[in-house]
């Protein structure tokens, strides 16, 4: 049976403002998130939480930059990826202060990322995303009783007898 991924929602009203400073060919600019309830995955059909990657793309689009970014979250690797698709060949990310630390944790980066022409991909597991290391509740077996509740024995004089329990124990794994 496969291991499970667990995603928790996060609410900026509870955790505070989060920000990241981007540096591209158009200079430096800061993306901030301070409102909304999000998850790393799209669970909007069953909850009030929206996909965080959509909010990041919207914030980047609203910034009206001369640079176009491609942003994605890969559920298989649990990594965010930022890549410049046009207008520049270099990108850097800086996480400043307490709000930067919050954003760094949410996006899954261990620290600032220097200027690079390659895509910037998360290097640690993002907060609010858990991947189990061993099978847990997902490998639950139904309750069962031992196969044999009666023990056959023999007395010193060779007379057979049996021992049984009043009630069988019930196990589950």
pLDDT at 134 over 70: no
Q: Which residues pair with 23 in a beta bridge?
A: 28, 92
- DSSP reduced 3-state for 109: coil
Provide the greatest CA pair distance for the chain. Answer: 99
pLDDT confidence band for 141 (50 / 70 / 90): low
Q: Span 76-91, mean pLDDT?
A: 86
Mean pLDDT of the chain: 84
pLDDT at 143 over 90: no
pLDDT confidence band for 161 (50 / 70 / 90): confident
Give me the half-sphere count of Cα atoms (radius 13 Å) on the Cβ side of residue 101. Answer: 4
pLDDT at 142 over 80: no
Q: Which residues pair with 6 in a beta bridge?
A: 130
Alpha helices in 92-173 (DSSP H): 97-107
- Per DSSP (E only), the strands in the chain are 5-7, 10-11, 18-24, 27-33, 37-39, 50-51, 68-74, 79-86, 91-94, 113-116, 120-121, 129-131, 150-154, 160-164
pLDDT at 117 over 70: yes
pLDDT at 57 over 80: yes
């Amino acid at each position: 049976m496969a291991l499970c991924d667990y995603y928790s929602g996060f609410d900026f009203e509870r955790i505070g403002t989060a920000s990241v400073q981007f540096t591209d060919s158009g200079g430096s600019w800061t993306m901030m998130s301070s409102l909304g309830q999000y998850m790393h995955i799209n669970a909007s059909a069953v909850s009030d939480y929206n996909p965080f990657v959509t909010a990041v793309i919207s914030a980047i689009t609203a910034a009206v930059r001369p640079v176009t970014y491609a942003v994605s979250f890969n559920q298989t690797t649990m990594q965010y990826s930022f890549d410049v698709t046009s207008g520049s060949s270099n990108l850097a990310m800086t996480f400043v202060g307490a709000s930067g630390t919050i954003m760094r944790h949410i996006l899954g980066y261990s620290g600032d990322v220097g200027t690079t022409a390659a895509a910037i991909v998360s290097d640690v597991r993002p907060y609010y995303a858990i991947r189990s290391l061993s099978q847990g509740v997902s490998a639950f077996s139904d309750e069962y009783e031992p196969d044999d509740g009666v023990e056959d024995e023999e007395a010193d004089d060779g007379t057979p007898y049996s021992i049984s329990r009043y009630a069988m124990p019930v196990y589950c794994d």
